[in-house]
Structures are given as structure tokens and as C-alpha cells.
Amino acid sequence: MFAPITIAGAFLALSALILTPLVATPADAATPSGSLYQAVAPQRVLPGTSLAAGGTTTAVLPSVPTGATAVWLSVTAARATAASAVSVCAGSTAPQACRVAPAFIAPTGTPASAPVRVVLGGQSQITVHATKPVAVAFDVVGYSVPSGTSGAGTYSPVATPSTSTQKIGARELVTLTVPGVPAGATAVALNLTSSGFSSSSYVSACPAGQAKADCAGTSVLNPLPSGDRQKSTIVKLGGSARNQVQFYNNAGSGTLRSTVAGFFRSTAGAGGVLSDVPSATSEIVLAPGGSASVPLAGVSTTATAALVRIVGSGAWRSTTVSACSTATVCPTTALIAEPGQASTNTVLLPLVAKSGAVSIRNSSASVRLKLEVLAQVVPTGSSAPAPQPTATPTPAPTPPAKPTPTATPKPTPTATPKPTPTPTPTPTPTTAPKPPAPAPAPTGGMPGPKNTGVPAGTTLKVHDGDITVTAAGTVIDSLDVHGSIVVKAANVTIKNSIIRGRAGSGPLVNNLLHNPNLVIQDSELFAAMDRRVSGIMGSHFTATRLNIHHVTDGIHLTEGEVTLKDSWLHDNLHLDKDPAWNGTPTHDDGIQVQGGSNITIDHNTLTGAHNAALMVTQDRARVTNLSWTRNYADGGGCTINIAQGSLGPVTGLKITDSTFGRNTSVANCAIIAPTTTKIDTQRNYWADDMSPVSVRKG
């Protein structure tokens, strides 16, 4: 342990799409085909050691089994004064080939850890390298060994993961009788989550019967009082019936959840061996409530599980990434991605049957996921067929309803860069057969899931690719567009349709050429592939009963003559460190107005944007005659943010007859504006107590 600060390993996991090649690395590289797992009682090999920037430390592995090809470690880092890349290498040095692929990034100020598998290559030493000052430690928890090694096991994922919940106090050792242990089991793969801890601590996971002092000298998880933490680990089974493990908690008290992912068994013919997979990564951005099926490059359709290193970054608040056994059952916590850091976990993930893919779901905040396949589990007695070709990840068509908004740190209300008005040049048939018109969505109540979007009973025809409209008067009706729509003609109507975009497709509906009289109604717009886009971009349109979600800006206006009514804009994409914004937070708005006149926003629901529900910038032109009436809005730094820029006061601005929520990062800030901009602000109220809303000086 690190005195006076106790540290231990919290494993975190996440998923990634858009598959790209990755060179195999010395740490976590795939072991030779047919590897078994030999569990050991965890042993602290490298005690807490302080490293300077660029420093290394080396430790000798004890009792390496004959023929061992890799060692499995729990590595922990703490006291980092700046984010430090931690590399774990076989041998007495840390060569460049190892350092270019660090095992994880130690965040500033809090302990972090990761399970790491290191290919030994005949070595019996491990060297740890850090780019910034940090204290490091590691424990040995197991080895990869050749087939036929006595006591070693093959892996079988469980069909239905079971979760046990235990209360644990300070310096307490508790025993868990693992449910469903099969005959011949030697070790259990667990996903551990801590919650409700009264203080910072570390938790150890050991076979039942290991001496308390020895168990307490290791660590797998670092609970914090500020929220849940998670780690995956493999624990040797102990107890008289070989069906028990034990946990030690160093400080405070809290709850520990243990989910069984699978078992290693020495029984002949049971389970599968770890088999080589050419190293490759997948990347995806998952929105809150989003899910995706992730094809794993090189993994065969006979594989039952995959060893995956998952890295999650960019989340503005803590979010849980789960692995799903079906479309609706997601019992395995693969990662808790924490804000302000890259969270890492190496975990055995169950695969969707006969697919070579893993299904994942995200809970609470947009997160960028990178998923690196290290090995696959192939049933014994079978040879892995040729790897499946890389496929495009498949996000779920309609993410679930939004989570409850949470106040967020105030993003800087920086104006969005001017878009380049170059529509996507994809000549595509522009009209679709017109079925009988479905009944319009009901109009009762405020806009939400029951009265916006495609009317119930509408039959949709799938259209793959972008649609570029060049004929005036074109009607696009009842299409499911896997691409975007670029408008190059007047009097175009889009109705009863879903527009979900594609990778790199730009705005979902693009009217940057300002063609007049565009009508969009009874439709759903969300970015299924590349969410760093706007829902509608341009001007000169009327939008009615739309459901727009999981995009950066719901609506982005570059000129005026726009009416938005009876629509639901919610759950914007937000990354804490967005590459599109030079690593700063995403500037996501419900509606952004860069210029224009005669803009009407009436009877809409706008929630889930982190910058503002309405952001006026005047970046392109003066804004005049903007009317905001009968809306409900919540969230953002301030929910409505009026910025004059260099063009002087906004004129003809009306914000009336609306209600506001209090989930703003600037307390009780419904409207912020310069005093030189005069606003008609009558009959605006807070939704919780109907007290009047005032304008904050900007």
C-alpha cells in the first residue's frame, strides 16, 4: 500500500467501433494459441514505488510456472501530479515499442488501476515506466500456460451472470460463496463495483482461506466516497468446496457488488482456450442511453468470449458501459467511465452467439469508447475458422428515453465556427412512393415521446445513403434514411420519416443554400453513426412535431425565416474533451442562432443541451425579430444565452409565456443577456414553484 494514501485497482471498461488496425504491443499482446489460465493467490510483487517523470522500476516475478507465456497483473498508480501514462513491459527495460502503448493513464489526484496481461517472451522480470511523477505497485494474479498444464483451466462464460451484494466495513474480511460454480472450477471471473463508501479505500479479492494479512497486502479496486468505481478481475477459488472467494476492505464502509462473468475449469473438454487474434481496435461515441453491436475484428463466429481492453474518455459525468447478453438484458458492467480522465479496463466480454460481436449499452453521458481485442475464447477441440471481415458497428436504431438532466459545469458559450455551405454531393433519387397519409401525431400536452416524431402505424422504406433534392416541390414521405438530406430546391417537404445520418454525412437535414419554403414535419432526426453533427442546419424552413436527439446542435440557424413548433429537442451529444473543439468540451445547444430575422420558436420542449437550449451568437449576421413563446426548457450553463458579439444589441427579441427548469450549471440562470439587448420577458416562470424568472446580466 502507499502510505499515507491507500490505493488499489479500479477496473474500467468501454467499447469502441470504426475498426482500425493496431500493432500488437508487448503488454497485453495475445499469447500463443491454446493458452490455459493458471490462477494463483494474489501476491504483491512490486510494492508502492515512486517514479520520477520518465522513470522506471523493475521487479522479478516469483515462481513462474514452466512454459508460462504471459503473466496477469493488477497494476495500480497513485499520487500523480499530472496525468501519467503507465507502461508495463517484459524484461529489465521499457523499450520504445512498449512505451508507445501504455497500459493505462493515471489521472491527477486519484488512484487508478488496470488489469494488465504481459507476454513474457521467456522473461521473468517486469518493468514499469511512467511519463510523469507517480507511485506504482502491482500484484500477480495468474499466468497463461500451455495446454496440459496441471490445475490450469479453460474459460466458460456464464449464460446468465449473477450478482451478489455485500456490505463491508473498515478492515473487514468478508466471504462470498460464489453462485453456480461448476465442477472442476479453479477460478472465477468477476466484475466488482463499489458504491456508497464513506471514505477512500482499497479492496482486495482473494481465494477464501488466504491469510488476512496476505490478502490485505494486495488490491483490486479503489472505492471513493464520490461515486461508484468498477474493476474486472480473476480470483482463484478457495474454501473446502472450492466455491468461495473473500474480500478485504481497508477503510470506511460501503457496498460491494460482485457479478460472475464466467469460470475457469480444469475439467477436460469444458470451456475454451485463449486463442490469438491480430490486434485491432474499434471506436465509437455512444450517447446517453445509446447501445451498439460491435463486431470484433479477427474474432471467429465460434468464439464464446473475447479478452478486450476498453478505454473510455470524454464523459462529462460518470457513465456506466454494460455488456449485454440480449438486446434488453445487460448484466455485466464492463466499465465506469469517469469524467476528466481516460478510464481503462481489460475484461472478458461475452459475445453475441455465432456473431463475433459484443453488444454494449451506455447509461448517463456521451462517451468515446476504444475497444482493443487481445484474444478470443475458442471451444476446446475446435479450430477457429478464418476471422470474419471487419464490419460496420450497428447502433440501436432508437436510443431509449433520456435520463434525468443533471447540472453540469458551465461550458464557455463560445460561438460555433461558421459552417462551409457545401452540401453533400450525392446524386440520389429524390422521391419515394407516397403511401396513404397516416394520422398526424397527437398535439395534446407539451411535446415529448408520445406526440412527436413519426406517427404510429407508419410503414417506412429504408433508403441507404444521402439524398440530394434538386427538383422543386419534391415530397419525401415515409422513408428511413440511413444518410442525410441535402436540399437544393424550393418548396421541399420531408414528413413521416427518420433521418439517422451516416459516418461523415454532415447535418442530417442541410439547407445551407437557404432554399425557401422547406417543410419538415412528423419526423425523427438522430445521428446513429457520427453524432458530431447538427439535426437541421441552414434557414428558411418550418419544422413541426419533430423529435431531434443525440446530435451536437438540434437546430443550427445561419439565416432566418424559420418556424419551429410542437417539437422535442433533447439529449444532445456532449464530450468533455471533443476533438472537434480542440480538446475542449463540446458546445452543444438545442438551437443555435448565428444570424437572421423572423425566427419563431413556439410550444417546444428543449432539454439535455450542455451549453444552452437557445444560444444566440450573431456570428454571421444581426439577429432581429426572434420570438420564443410557450416553451419548456431546462439545462445548459444558462438555458437561454444571448450574446451580441460585435454587431450590437439583438432587436425585436421576445421571450414570453414559458417555463424553465433549474438544472443549470449556473444556479437559477434561465436567461442571460447583455443589458443593452432589450427583451420582452412577460409571464416566464420556474416550473417547480411557478415563481417569476428574471434575466441575469451577461
Residue 677 has pLDDT above 60, yes or no: yes
Arithmetic mean of pLDDT over the chain: 83
Which is nearest to 570 in space by CA: 450, 402, 411? 402
pLDDT tens digits along 303-324: 889 899 999 988 888 899 988 7
- Summarize the confidence of residues 508-527 as an average pLDDT: 96
Instruction: Give the C-alpha separation, 482 to 493, whole Å.
Output: 18
Q: Which pLDDT band, with edges at 50, 70 and 90, does 502 fall under?
A: confident
Shortest CA distance to 232 belongs to which of 13, 8, 1? 13
What percent of the chain is predicted at pLDDT more than 70?
84
SS3 state at 129: strand
pLDDT bucket at 431, cuts 50 / 70 / 90: very low
Average pLDDT over residues 631-646: 93
**C-beta of residue 16 within 8 angstroms of C-beta of residue 294:** yes
pLDDT of residue 296: 85
Judge whether residue 157 has pLDDT over 60.
yes
**Average pLDDT estimate for 7-14:** 26
pLDDT, residue 403, reads 33
Check pLDDT > 50 for residue 441. Answer: no
Reported residue count of the chain is 698
Which amino acid is present at 415?
A
Mean pLDDT across the stretch 324-333? 67
Can you list the positions of beta strands (E) in 196-331? Answer: 203-207, 229-236, 244-249, 254-265, 272-286, 291-295, 305-313, 319-324
Lowest mean pLDDT among 45-59, 105-119, 230-244: 105-119
Tell me: pLDDT of 74 over 50: yes
Q: State the architecture of 461-697 in CATH terms.
A: 3 Solenoid (2.160)
Question: What residue type is assigned to position 191 of the chain?
Answer: N
Could you give the 3-state DSSP secondary structure of residue 291?
Answer: strand
For position 430, what pLDDT does the model report?
37
Residue 659 neighbours by CB under 8 Å, 6+ apart: 631, 632, 684, 685, 686, 687
Residue 451's pLDDT is: 93
Q: How confident is the model at residue 251 (pLDDT cuts 50, 70, 90)?
A: very high
Could you tell me the pTM of the whole model? 0.61
**Residue 230 has which C-alpha cell?**
468498477
3-state helix, strand, coil in the chain (%, to 5): 0, 45, 55
> Rounded to 10 degrees, what is the CA torsion of 322, 325, 328, 332?
-30
Q: Please confirm whether the linkage preceding 4 is cis (ω < 30° from 0).
A: yes
pLDDT band for 18, please (50, 70, 90 cuts). Answer: very low
* pLDDT of the residue at 189: 95
Determine the Cα–Cα distance for residues 694 and 237; give it in Å rounded to an integer. 63
Q: Which residues pair with 204 in a beta bridge?
A: 248
Q: Which amino acid is at 659?
A: T
Distances from the Cα of 9 to the Cαs of 89, 115, 248, in angstroms? 18, 8, 13
Average pLDDT over residues 431-447: 46
pLDDT at 689: 76
User: Domains of the chain: which residue ranges?
Assistant: 20-380, 461-697
Confidence category of residue 574, pLDDT binned at 50, 70, 90: confident
Strand partners, 615: 592, 641
Residue 649: its pLDDT value, please? 94
Residues with Cβ within 8 Å of residue 601, at least 6 apart in sequence: 564, 565, 591, 614, 626, 627, 628, 629, 631
Are 85 and 130 a contacting pair, CB within 8 Å? yes
Closest CA to 306 of 334, 284, 336: 334
d(CA 572, CA 471): 32
Q: How far apart are CA 49 and CA 55, in angstroms?
A: 11
- List alpha helices for 548-684, DSSP H: none
Asked whether the predicted pLDDT for residue 422 surpasses 80, the reply is no
> Which of 251, 254, 252, 256 lies closest to 196 in space, CA to CA?
254
505 — pLDDT class (breaks 50, 70, 90): low
pLDDT digits (tens, 9 = 90+) for 53-72: 999 999 999 989 999 999 99
Q: pLDDT category, 553, cuts 50, 70, 90?
A: very high
% of the chain exceeding 90 in pLDDT: 57
pLDDT value for 326: 59
Cβ burial, residue 625 (10 Å; 0-12/13-18/19+): middle
**Half-sphere exposure (CA, 13 Å, Cβ side) for 623?**
31
What integer is the mean pLDDT of 353-375?
86
